[in-house]
Each structure stands twice: as C-alpha cells, then as structure tokens.
A and B are shown apart, each in its own frame.
Chain A
C-alpha cells in the first residue's frame, strides 16, 4: 500500500542516500565555528568581562546567534537542492509512479526537510555554542550555559533553521530550475534582503514593513539580530510572530509552486 508514512520515509531516504546533506553540513559547521569562535576571541581580547564593549549577555547571545544567522542559508539550500534535484534528474517520474497522490508527496517532502532543517539547527548551534562558548570561557567570560534565556535562544534557533529548510523546499517547487533557485537564494539572502533591511530603517513606516522580511522575521524568532549592532534597536516582531511569518512564507510559496509546477504534466 502506498501511504503517507511510506512517502515520508521515502523522502528521508532520499536525503540520506546522497552525499549532499553531510557535505553541506560540514561546510556549515566549520563556517559557523570559525565565525562564532572568531567573534568571541575578538571581543574577549578587547577587554575584561566587565569592560567589554557589549554587555556580557548581549555578547554571548550575539555569538550564539551566529548559528541561525549564518546557518540559515545552508538550511534553505538543503531544501531547495533536495527539491530541484527531483526536477533536474527527472526523479519526479518514479516518485509520482510510487505515490500518484502528488499532494501527499509534497507534504512528505516539506516535513522531511523540516526535520533535516532542525537537525541542521542542532549542528549549527553545536558549532556556535561549542566554539563560541569555549573561546568566551577561555577569556574568562561566562558562556551563560546555565541561563534559561540561552536555552530559549537555542531552541528557537533550531525552530528557525527547520522553517528555513521548509522555505527552501517551497522555493524549489516554485522555481524548479536548480541554477535559478541557487542564484535566488544567494542573491536574496546575501545581498537583496540585507540592503532592504538597512533601507527599511530610514522611515517609520518602511520599518513597520521591514519587520516582515523573512530574515527580520527569523531574527525575531531567534530573539537576536546582528542588525542591532549596526545602530538603533530595529523594530522587531514578537518571536512567535516571526515564526508564523516564516511558516506563512513556506505555505504560500508551496501553494504557488503546486499550481505552477508540481501538479503539471511530467514529461
């Protein structure tokens, strides 16, 4: 019998049976560890715990939030690549032959990659908390591992990473061309959105709109934004609102992709 559980485990096997997921994970972990450790070393070497430029807990939170703020692009890429690979290698044909209910396949894929994104979240936080926390401790700064607020940030970061991977799947469904999807991910996350976020701070009403940008929503969910360093405290959504914005984007883009590509003829 073809069933939802079968479709879900099939999607999990698809992720684990090629090398992409762990290669991407290794790059992500190394990148985050170096940046979080580096930032911790920079601030740690600038002064004693009491005279650091940032308040102690703000510094720790900033270092730890490198997990989601640097890692989210890897989560999006994982989801987008997993989906566009199906179009690129024409594996949608056997997929839809095994599970002709295409909605079931799409939901299974979204869920499987959400899980993989959560795993990426765990790895990203191990890197930022592990490397960052260790370096902070070397400089005599309390890594705040006993503080519940730290664990709240870690937990919400993992949720954010999971949702970013979901968004990646949705994007891949809407933009089946792998090259186009990668270009969109990199251009948007590394260039377009940062500019929009900086520009949105210029007037009050644009700042209101800017809160709903996906990166801003993600920062709200995590509860920490690197943009706080750049100047005034930016306007942020509540953490749960940020999560809902990310989820909403994933659902909306998936529905659009359902009509533009997923339910179309597979030739």
Chain B
C-alpha cells in the first residue's frame, strides 16, 4: 500500500431551496481507520457523500482527497471506491458486464472484474442479470464496484443495510482488513449499533451540522455521568439542582440530571431538605448517548 489519503471536508454547505441540508461541515477522515459517519435519516449524510464524490455541487465549501477534488483525480476509481445507497444497476445487465462497463471507462484491467466478484462472494453469479439479485447480493455488487480499482479510499453509504447476519459479519471483517491495509474507510449509517463493532472513529451529524467528532471511546465517556433522581415534590428538587448549576430534564419516573455524580446529587437534595425517593447513577449505552447527541432521545 502506498501512503494513505486523508479526506478533508472544509466548511461544506449545501442548500436545496430554503432547506439547508448540510451546514458548514468541517472534519477530516484519516487513513488506516474505519470512520463511522453517523446521523439519523435526513441528517445530510448522503448529500455530504455525494458532494465528496462530485455528484452534487456544494453551495459553498469543499471536500477533497488530500487536497484534490474528486473530479480532478486523474484515476478516480483507482483512488476512491464508493458504494452509494441507491441501487444503481440496469436490471437487464449482468453483474460482470455492469462492472466491465465502468472498468472500461476508468481504464481498469478487466481481470479485476472477476477478482472483485470473487472477493465479495458473487464469483458464481457474475453472469446473472442483476434484476434477479436479492438486496444482499446488490449490496455486495455495490461493494464490488467500490473495490474495482483497488482504491486507497473507500466511501460506503449504509453498506450494512440489507445484509443478513452472515453478511454483516463478513463486511465487518472486510472493513477491518481494508483499514489495516492502510486504506481510508468512511462508512455511513443511521444506526450506531450497526457499525459500532466496526468503527474506530465517529463523526456524528444531525440536521446537517457536525455534532460530535472523536473516537468511539470518546462517545462512551462523554455521556456516562447521568443521574436519575426522584422526590415527592419534583419541582422543588429540579429547582434545587438547577440552582446548583445542573441541567435537568423531566422523565416519567423522576428527573434526569446530566453530567452528574449520584453522591453529589444526593448531597444537594439533602442540603435543600428534600427527601429523595430514588437515586441512581445511569450508565448510558453508546446508542443512547448517540441518540442524545442527535436529539432524538425518547422517554428513558
């Protein structure tokens, strides 16, 4: 493997009419790791990736591969492999011909076609028309397209969607292998749980804005210290905690105190003369802290 390629997003912005789909997004994706690009549906993930790949024109800002925009890459498919969410196949064309078409356009050796078909487990089905493929097989064919040019960067939009458990296990191993080879791997998902076993780094977006950037572990720690506390008069309790500088939010079974230790919350209640009826340190799961970050937490 030659030197890695860093993906750079700089103040990337896209406006569709009145809607700001992506606003001022800046982050980098490093080689040798799997980076999860996470956010709820409609957060602007796909639009961001399509801007990165030159399919959608940014309103302002830029997205480059080590400083070079996708359309300026001399050999795009040999530099960046991508699989986008939409199934982009002619149903009447065989998988092998589908890949051959784009190998020709990109000047890639046609032997790669059989190679990548085998790598994604479609070696025996290459001559079948894609119209007869299952969703899982289409996902694999999308991945075969991404791997066609043996690229140093992989950009995969929702690659796990539609795969069966065996397929999920397979793609996790594959992503790991690709990152270990020094490639830059960026995968998007709307479910953290779907990718948390595969990713090293996370970039979280919501409503087109960057919300969190860091290692998977950072996500774990940032929201671990929550306390659920209850008393007969919740309003007095909440007021006392707010007076002490905490952020509180009402729950069905008490009050949720963010960034707090149980002992400290108990002391504040005691000092205020409030009899606490429940007090517990909440250990927040990754998925919950993810949902909290993207602003979709339901009743806990």
A residues whose Cβ falls under 8 Å from a Cβ of B: 1-3, 6-7, 9-10, 13-14, 17-20, 85, 89-101, 265-267
Contacts and interface: CB of A to CB of B under 8 A. Distances in A.
Contacts of A3: 107
Contacts of B93: 14, 17-18
Given A17-B94, A19-B92, A267-B50, A100 B105 contact: no
Contacts of B98: 17
B96 to A, nearest CB: 9
B68 to A, nearest CB: 11
Given A10-B105, A100-B76, 11 more contacts: A2-B75, A2-B77, A2-B107, A6-B104, A6-B105, A13-B97, A14-B90, A18-B93, A90-B86, A97-B76, A101-B71
Contacts of A94: 88, 102, 145
A11 B46 CA distance: 27
B107 A91 contact: no
B105 A93 contact: no
Contacts of A90: 86-88
B88 A89 contact: yes
A42 to B, nearest CB: 39
B74 A98 contact: no
A266 B56 contact: yes
Contacts of A20: 92
B118 interface: no
A151 B86 CA distance: 50
Contacts of A95: 102, 105
5 interchain residue pairs of minimum CB distance: A10-B105, A100-B71, A17-B97, A98-B105, A265-B56
Given A2-B77, A17-B101, A265-B50, A89 B106 contact: no
Contacts, number: 96
B91 A265 contact: no
Nearest to A90: B88
Residue of A93, A94, A100, A265 ringed by the most chain B CB atoms within 10 A:
A94
B106 A98 contact: yes
B239 interface: no
B92 A18 contact: yes
Interface in B69-127: 70-71, 73-77, 82, 84, 86-94, 97-98, 100-102, 104-107
Residue of B84, B97, B104 ringed by the most chain A CB atoms within 10 A:
B104
Contacts of B43: none
Nearest to A263: B57
17 contacts: A1-B74, A1-B107, A2-B75, A2-B77, A10-B101, A10-B104, A17-B97, A17-B98, A89-B89, A90-B86, A92-B88, A94-B102, A95-B102, A97-B76, A98-B106, A100-B73, A266-B55
A265 B88 contact: no
A112 B145 CA distance: 23
A100 B71 CA distance: 5
Residue of A13, A90, A92 ringed by the most chain B CB atoms within 10 A:
A13
B55 A13 contact: no
Nearest to B72: A100
B228 interface: no
Given A2-B107, A89-B89, A266-B56, A98 B84 contact: no
Contacts of B57: 265
Nearest to A5: B107
Given A2-B77, A10-B101, A100 B106 contact: no
Contacts of B105: 2, 6-7, 9-10, 95, 98-99
A3 B87 CA distance: 26
Nearest to A10: B105
A98 B77 contact: yes
Contact of A89 (B46, B56, B91, B104): B91
Contacts of A92: 88
A8 to B, nearest CB: 9
Contacts of A14: 90, 93, 101
Contact of B107 (A6, A97, A100, A267): A6
